[in-house]
Structure 1
Amino acid sequence: MTEMEMNDHRMLGKKLELFHMEEDAPGMVYWHGQGWKIYRLLEDWIRGKMADLGYEEVRSPQLLPKSLWERSGHWEKFGQNMFAVPGKDGGRDMALKPMSCPCHIQIFNADLKSYRQLPVRYAEFGICHRDESSGSMHGLMRTRGFEQDDAHVLCRPEQVEAEVARFVGLLKDSYEQLGFSNVRSALSLRPAARAGSEADWDLAEERLLAAARSAGVEPEIQSGEGAFYGPKLEFALQDRQGRHWQCGTIQLDMVLPGRLGASFINEAGEHEVPVMLHHAVLGSMGRFIGMLLEHHEGRLPFWLAPDQVAILPIGADQEPAARAFAARLREVGMRPRILLEESLQRRLVQAHELMIPVHAVIGRREAEAGQVMLQDGAGKCLHELEGAVATLAARR
């Protein structure tokens, strides 16, 4: 087996007991406990960053009337990839949502807003479904059920530049913390099949390019690759194998708010239609985890590892000290795992195979002295118990 095959996220998912797929649920992910830890850590991490930047987290239904998707234009564009549910006894036809943007406009429309309340920023970690063809599905990289770090900003045209700069700052900071330093950007312009007037497209493309440059981004131009409702600024990450993965995207939409009746009261007391920015930093959470696994070859950053510290008592007499150390680590929010079975050498191998970043060995002398031997890629170091806790906690 080649090194690339060994570092395929599907192989790593099986080896590390993170997730699996079933033939009777094609394109759907069964997350195991270890994998779900990674998922929730990543989700909570980006959620916190967005909350700090003023995004309000919302939740919208998964099953919505087909008529909503017809009004928005998604049915014409994506209907063949949506899961439709025929209405019973003459009831309305429904569909599972493939994205959340119409729902966020409905939340915006629930009460009439003043220009003083704009921009309004919504974030949602909701499940979406798309009926992908069986030949296009590939582990976590393309699935039929997925969750995005989906966000929408409803604002005035003159607020677009500041909102794009906010997003670009969030995106760059996030990618750097996750170990991606090489990021390419592109601006995708109007496609052949599109909604909206040519004047709106001229303005949207001009504003998004100006906002990107103002934020320090000089994108490549991709003709014809925009969304049907507006141009998009997209970002691709380069992994350790030199592959590029398109992840972050922000799109300027001057179509959907008007189609779905969004408005606010401006300074003159008149109804005005806002523009909308659609964006995601990570995109599909599962796909991003697959990328992280392959990029880091299974050895995730310490803060994101499902088990951070493997605690290895040399003998049975040191098990109480090992449990006490594990309890102290849990008290400060860390994730230890005590390995007890088989020989110490075999347990060290097991900790290495599970890709646990730090190994903590406790022998008779360490237990008696209230110490622990920490070992990671940088070598070994003996610590007092509380010093070890502080050292590890600082790495988070």
Structure 2
Amino acid sequence: MADALTREEKLYRIRHTTAHVMAEAVLQIFPEASIAIGPPVENGFYYDFQLPRSLKPEDLESIEEGMRTILAGKHPLTREVVGKERAREIFQNQPFKLELIDDLPEDVEVSTYTVDTFVDLCKGPHVESTAEIHPKAFKLLSIAGAYWRGDEKRPMLQRIYGTAWETPKELREHLNWLAEVEKRDHRKVGRELDLFSTHEEAGSGLVYWHPKGARIRGAIEDFWREEHRKGGYDMLYTPHVGKSWLWETSGHLDFYKDNMYSPMELDNAEYFAKPMNCPFHIMIYRTAKHSYRDLPLRWGELGTVYRYERSGVLHGLLRVRGFTQDDAHIFCTPDQVEAEILEVLQFSMNIWDAFGFQKIKAYLSTRPEKSVGDPADWDRATESLRKALEAEGMDYELDEGGGAFYGPKIDLKVQDALGREWQMTTIQFDFNLPERFDMTFVDRDGQEKRPYMVHRALLGSLERFFGVLIEHYGGAFPVWLSPLQVMVVPVAPAFNDYADKVAKRLFAEGYRVEADLSDNRMNAKIRSAQQQKVPYMLVVGEAEEQAGAVSPRTRTGERPGTMSLEDFETFLAGKVREKALL
């Protein structure tokens, strides 16, 4: 392999070739199998097959053994350029490959790669020989179903996922990382901590917030609303459904209908569950005539929306059909744009910092070839986004032509504790809806003009954000967000009354607190609280009762030392105010 290749290029080739080796090993076990596609992906690879029976986890071990045998042959990877007719001859018994060949443009170069006895339709690139793949640096991970070409009307195939690295050490590190990902999976942690549930029988993709999860959501919403109040935002509440006129005017029925719930017939009119909040905010704007003196208007709403997602892509809290967007819309004049964008970017960064996310990357998307609106407005809007990013000293990637047809945008991706990036905040200009709804304001010269409209979803949705938050902290939330901040533990039943008294006092001060007055032993109560990731346990016995004190312990085992109840209240208030982890 050429020394000039970057690490990413080397891994790409290793993974691409390993996918081909896996396909050969599968065909050795199932000669009648039909092969589909097998690309490298982030951290690994996969290949899709139509097989005579369903795969079992133990099949992966047999396939791995076959792969190691193939690798030991140190086979070269041979590329051959073939025409479409020759390609059809080679893959005459492979219907999925024939379909791919038929879909190729006539002027495209068609190539195959051969490794050992396996020939695949492929443009590469690959390693030069299987000798470059360490037999102990790959692992097959899982089996999943996948529709051919992502179309649920096409055959369901079996997909085998794997990972491959340059060295066994890198593989071990990655497998350890995957184990940590699994341990933090928000669905698993959500069950363990009794935070939320979903119920297929009652409706796919709809989230039920349990009392503990609802406490966290309440803390998030209270913080969100207060910060927006300080930032000059007014709160709105809008309906969950709207007549077809609204969605025809907004364009959603033309461009977005497949993602909307089916209509409801009411009073000889069709009503749709809202997929977005924006048209409702515009309707409020249109109830009055606005002057430049009224602007900017900053309106926020925690608005629940409904979107149809295919059942195959639903995933816990991260991909749902009903969710609450932390929406905000800014309506301003052209000369207010720069200041508003800078302020909203700073506002977003402060919010992310409060939730404990420090590593944030920005992506700036500019005007595509097909767009609506005056190019001068696009230029002004794009420049305001660029200046805001540069004023904040933020690294950003430029996606030339990658904006939506209706306006440029900034996307913010946050990095979690495991180094994964999540696309969360969007700051998006819209030159389409103001035109469609004929929005105006009266400028200084007495002329009616279009306001600039900026969409801003900061957390994205409360459901998805909660899923990311759970995985970021592994359920061990900062004190201010913990569903239960304090558990009071009496050393014996004789001190239950004092434990109850302590709990009631802290509760009266606004803390989320309980006293464990069960018949369990003290150590079992402490272990239970630690398993529930309660930040603080207050152990109380005779000495504490006589002194009006408590003996704190943290969920990680630290013992700060006995302190008066008043001192603990001051200590806890500081932790909440600082948004500390512990």
Bin for the TM-score computed over the shorter chain: over 0.9
Query: Within 1, Cα distance between the matches of 2:225 and 2:448?
Result: 32
Equivalences for 1:286-297 in 2 at 5 Å? 286-297=463-474
Deviations 1:277-296 (A, max 9, x none): 11022111111111111011
**How many Å apart are 1:223 and its aligned residue?**
3.5
* Residue number among 549, 559, 576 corresponding to 1:379 in the alignment: 559
Instruction: Give the distance between the partners of 1:93 and 1:162, measured in 2 at CA.
Output: 41
The separation in 1 between residues aligned to 2:351 and 2:253, in whole angstroms, is 33
CA-CA distance at 1:366 after TM superposition: 1.2
CA distance in 2, matches of 1:206, 1:313: 62
* Residue 67 (structure 1) shift: 2.2
Letter in 2 for 1:303: W
Q: Is 2:266 aligned against 1:85?
A: no
Report the AA paired with residue 254 of structure 1: F
Question: Match for 1:381: what amino acid?
Answer: G
For residue 249 of structure 2, what is the amino acid of its counterpart?
A: R
Of 569, 573, 582, 1:389 maps to: 569
Per the TM alignment, residue 192 of structure 1 is displaced from its structure 2 partner at its CA by: 5.6
User: Counterparts of 1:72 and 1:119 in 2: how far apart (Å)?
Assistant: 22
Q: What is the match of residue 317 of structure 1?
A: 494
1:10 is displaced (CA, Å) by 0.3
Tell me the distance in 2 between the aligned counterparts of 1:333 and 1:152.
32
SS in 1 for 2:571: helix
- Rate the CA distance shift 1:210–1:2 in 2: closer, same or farther, 3 A: closer
Amino acid of the residue matched to residue 390 of structure 1?
Answer: T
Counterpart of 2:411 in structure 1 is: 234
Aligned to 1:184: 361
Equivalent positions of 1:208-357 (< 5 A) are 208-341=385-518, 342-357=520-535
Which deviates further from its counterpart, 356-365 or 265-274?
265-274
Alpha-carbon spacing, 1:311–1:95, altered in 2? closer, same or farther (3 Å): same
Which residue identity does 1:359 align to in structure 2? M
Q: 1:128 maps to what in 2?
A: 305
1:49 Cα offset (Å): 0.4
- CA positional deviation for 1:198: 4.5
Please report the TM-score for the alignment, with normalisation by the length of structure 1. 0.95
1:58 aligns with 2:210: no
Q: CA–CA distance in 2 between the matches of 1:72 and 1:201?
A: 20
Deviation at 1:172, TM superposition (A): 1.2
C-alpha contact 1:204 1:253 (8 A) present in aligned 2: no
Counterpart secondary structure, 1:368: helix
For 2:222 and 2:282, the matched residues in 1 are separated by 24
**Structure 2 spans left out of the alignment, 5+ residues:** 1-177, 577-582
Q: Give the whole-Å Cα distance in 2 for the aligned partners of 1:98 and 1:352.
A: 40
Please give the secondary structure, in 2, of the residue aligned with 1:98: coil
List aligned pairs for 1:100-115, cutoff 5 A.
Answer: 100-115=277-292
- Check the 8 A contact 1:313/1:362 in 2, yes or no: yes
Structure number with larger C-alpha Rg: 2
| Cα distance in structure 2, aligned partners of 1:276 and 1:28 | 31
Q: How far apart are residue 88 of structure 1 and its match?
A: 4.6
Pick closer, same or farther for the CA change 1:193–1:127 going to 2, 3 Å: farther
- CA distance, structure 2, for counterparts of residue 194 and residue 136 of structure 1: 30
Moved more, 247-256 or 7-16: 247-256
Q: Could you list the per-position Cα deviations for residues 16-70 of structure 1 after superposition, in whole angstroms to 9, with x for gaps in the alignment?
A: 0000110121000011100001111111111110111110001111111222222
- 1:143-182 paired onto structure 2 within 5 Å: 143-182=320-359
- 8 Å Cα contact 1:164/1:212 also seen in 2: no
- Partners of 1:126 and 1:48 lie apart in 2 by 17
Shift of 1:218: 4.5
For the residue of structure 1 that corresponds to 2:204, the secondary structure is coil
Letter in 1 for 2:512: R
> How has the CA–CA distance of structure 1 residues 193 and 17 changed in structure 2, closer, same or farther, with 3 Å as cutoff?
farther
3-state SS in 1 of match to 2:199? coil
CA root-mean-square deviation: 1.7
- Structure 2 CA distance for aligned equivalents of residues 343 and 185 of structure 1: 51
Spell out, residue by residue over 1:227-283, the C-alpha distance to the aligned partner (whole angstroms, 9 max, x if none): 331111010001111100011110112221121121111112221110101102211
Shift of 1:170: 1.3
Comparing 149-158 with 226-235, greater Cα deviation is found at 226-235
Q: Deviations over 1:346-396 (max 9, x none)?
A: 111100110000110001221122111011244331011222222212211
User: 2-side partners of 1:193 and 1:17: how far apart?
Assistant: 48
Amino acid across the alignment from 1:108: Y
Displacement of 1:75:
2.3
Matched residues in 2 for 1:204 and 1:155: separation?
12
8 Å Cα contact 1:340-1:347 kept in structure 2: no
Contact 1:60 1:103 in 2 (8 A): yes
**Of the two structures, which has the highest relative contact order with CA contacts closer than 8 Å and spacing of 6 or more?**
1
Cα distance in structure 2, aligned partners of 1:113 and 1:188: 30
Q: 1:105 to 1:53 in 2, by over 3 A?
A: same
Matches of 1:71 and 1:365 in 2, distance apart?
Answer: 71
Counterpart for residue 195 of structure 1: 372
**1:125 aligns to what SS in structure 2?**
strand
TM-score (norm 2): 0.66
Q: Is the 8 A contact 2:538 2:551 kept in 1?
A: yes
The structure-2 alpha-carbon separation of the partners of 1:207 and 1:386, relative to structure 1 and needing over 3 Å to count, comes to closer
Letter in 1 for 2:453: M
Residue identity opposite 2:566 in structure 1: E
1-structure distance, mates of 2:262, 2:446? 41
From 44, 48, 57, give the equivalent of 2:226.
Answer: 48
| 1:296-336 Cα shifts (integer Å, max 9, x gaps) | 11100000001001110011111111111111111221111
Query: Whole-Å Cα distance in 2 between the matches of residues 390 and 218 of structure 1?
Result: 39
